[in-house]
Structure 1
């Protein structure tokens, strides 16, 4: 693909270039220093997005490992001694959100039963 000189850009080309720069700017501004260092060599917004996707989501093997770990967290979830219901609810909700993000959906019935089993007898 040959890029046109700026002098030959149409209004549509200028609009696309501006949107492209806005997209890069948004991506740059939302990253912390550590993540920025990992993507600073990328030259396009698409390259940045693909690199971030790979870094955050990983490949299929990484996703499978994350799912396995999240399922184990769900299976082993128990209310800790001294933990309040609010704290347990937040921790358990985070586990459910992880599972949903990774594509594992439990029914409301399964979640309710797990919560009941996770509570201490008293």
Structure 2
């Protein structure tokens, strides 16, 4: 067996700028529900997969891809929180609620990040690339806390 194929099965693909799927990401934002049909009594029932249209299958696959990325990106403790989710949006919202900090903790983290940014200096033995990486790490941390650092 080709080891590169075996490794690909164990790790989700790395975003390299050519494989971004905006429609899959859209399901984290808008959510997904299985296709439904109305029966003769007027009840709204979930359609059997064998009756799904091509478009319904495509949309389901986008949700599945987004959900797979989320499942593959969390540790076992987090995974246990979302293991029964069938919608990427539901999984994301559970993780978001679980991981969000209180406002005072967020402000403290932002103060620490701001201090690191203000004290950031390029070391003599450091390359521009290494310095840029440290700068971007700080900017990404600030952005994730809702306070982006402008260019």
Superposition TM-score, scaled by structure 2 size:
0.47
Structure with max Cα Rg: 1
What aligned pairs does 1:87-106 form with structure 2 within 5 A after superposition?
89=131, 93=135, 94-101=137-144, 102-105=146-149
Paired residue secondary structure (2:46): coil
CA–CA separation in structure 2 for the residues paired with 1:97 and 1:105: 8
From 120, 126, 151, the equivalent of 1:86 is: 126
Q: Give the conservation status (yes or no) of the 8 Å contact 2:140–2:148.
A: no
Comparing both structures, which one devotes a greater share of its residues to helix?
Answer: 1
Cα displacement string for residues 17-73 of structure 1 (whole angstroms, at most 9, x for unaligned residues): 2222222222222333343234324332111122333445x2561433321221233
Kindly tell me the number of residue pairs found equivalent between the two proteins: 102
From 91, 105, 116, the equivalent of 1:73 is: 116
User: How well do the aligned residues superpose, as a CA RMSD in angstroms?
Assistant: 3.4
Counterpart check, 1:21 vs 2:64: yes
Contiguous gaps of at least 5 residues in structure 1:
108-122
Counterpart check, 1:30 vs 2:70: no
Superposition TM-score, scaled by structure 1 size:
0.55
CA–CA separation in structure 1 for the residues paired with 2:86 and 2:97: 16
CA–CA separation in structure 2 for the residues paired with 1:10 and 1:78: 55
CA–CA separation in structure 1 for the residues paired with 2:84 and 2:131: 41
Contiguous gaps of at least 5 residues in structure 2:
1-43
